Amino acid sequence: MKKRPLVVVTRRLPDVVETRMRELFDARLNLDDAPMSQAELIEAVRAADVLVPTVTDKIDAAVLAQAGPNLKLIANFGNGVDNIDVQAALTRGITVTNTPGVLTEDTADMTMALILAVARRIAEGVRIIPEDKWSGWSPTWMLGRRITGKRLGIVGMGRIGQALARRAKAFGLSIHYHNRRRVPQAVEDELEATYWESLDQMLARMDIVSVNSPHTPATYHLLSARRLKLLKPDAIIVNTARGEIIDENALARLIEAGEIAGAGLDVFEHEPQVNPRLLKLARQGKVVLLPHMASATHEGRIDMGEKVIVNIKTFMDGHRPPDRVLPSML
C-alpha cells in the first residue's frame, strides 16, 4: 500500500473537510485552533510532505529555509498568497497552490453590504434601539446618502470586482474601474463599465471607491496619502481585499478632517490589531469595521477545503495541481 503523505494543517477547518483529509492523507490537525508561532511553523515544514497554511500564517524565506526534504507542496487555504514567499518556495522546488474563485460571490456580497452600511449609516442605526437612544422618527435625523445614480470606482476588476459590479449595477450605480489590464469588451459591455487607465483620474471623480485588488509588492499602499487626497469630500471607500493596499493612517487622518466622508473596512494593515484612530472613528459612526469576515460562509469554507484537497491529491498523483501559483502570476 502506498504511504499516505503527511499533511500538516495549521488551523481548524470545517469538520467535513478535516474528515475527508483524514480519510485521504496522514493529516495532522490543529484541534485547538491556536495560531502557530514561527517556531511551530518551522517544525511543521521540517516534518511535512504537504503544508496547509492559512492567510495568517507567514511562510517566508526564513521559514522555508528550514524546510525538510519531504516538503514538496504548500496548499494554501486562501485565495491570496501574500503570506507565502512563492519565489523562495519555487527555488527550493516546493509547489504552491491556492483556492481561487470559490469566495467570489461571498466577498462581493459583503462588499455591497459595506457600501450600503456606510452610505446609509446602518451600523449606527443598529446601535440606537438597544442603547435606548431612539425617541421616534424625525424627518432630518440619521440621514444617509442615496447610492442609486452614484459612481462606483472599482480598484481591481478581477472575479470579485466583476461580481461586485453586477450587484452594484442592479442598485443603479454607474460602474467605473481601474485594472492592471483592461477587461474584455464583452465584459465592459455587460457591466456598462468605464475603464480608467489613470487611477488618479478615476479616484477624483468617484462617489464610492471599492478596493478589490490582490496584495502584492506593487499594490502596497496603492491608495497612498497622495491618492486618498484626490477623493471628493463626500466620497466613501470600502476595502474587502487586503489592509496593506490602503495607507490606514492617511485614511483616518482624512476622515477626521472631513476630507473623506467615511469608510467600510473588513481588512486592516496589521491584523488582528486595528488602528486606534479607526476604532475612534467607528465609535463616532464615521467608519464601519468588520473582523475580516467577507468570505466567511459555511459554503465558501467548505469549497476552499475541497480545492485544497483536489490540489494535494492531484499533486500526489504526479500531475500538475489545478491551482498552482507562480511568481509571474503575482
Catalytic residue among 151, 292, 306, 324: 292
Measured distance CA(308)–CA(306) in Å, rounded: 5
Q: Single out the catalytic residue among 11, 121, 242, 301.
A: 242
Q: Which amino acid is at 99?
A: T
Can 320 be counted among the known catalytic residues? no
Give the span between the Cα atoms of 67 and 60, in whole angstroms: 11
Nearest Cα residue to 217 out of 55, 323, 52, 81: 81
What cell does 258 get?
472631513
Please report where in the chains the cell 471623480 appears, as a residue: 205
Cα torsion through 162, 163, 164, 169, rounded to 10: 80
Catalytic annotation, pick one of 271, 277, 306, 324: 271
Q: Which residues, 6 or more positions from 212, have their beta carbon under 8 angstroms from its beta carbon?
A: 107, 111, 154, 155, 156, 157, 158, 160, 161, 164, 240, 241
Note if 271 is an active site residue.
Answer: yes
Q: Tell me the CA end-to-end span of the chain in Å, nearest whole number.
A: 39
Q: Is 270 a catalytic residue?
A: no
Catalytic amino acids?
Answer: 242, 271, 292
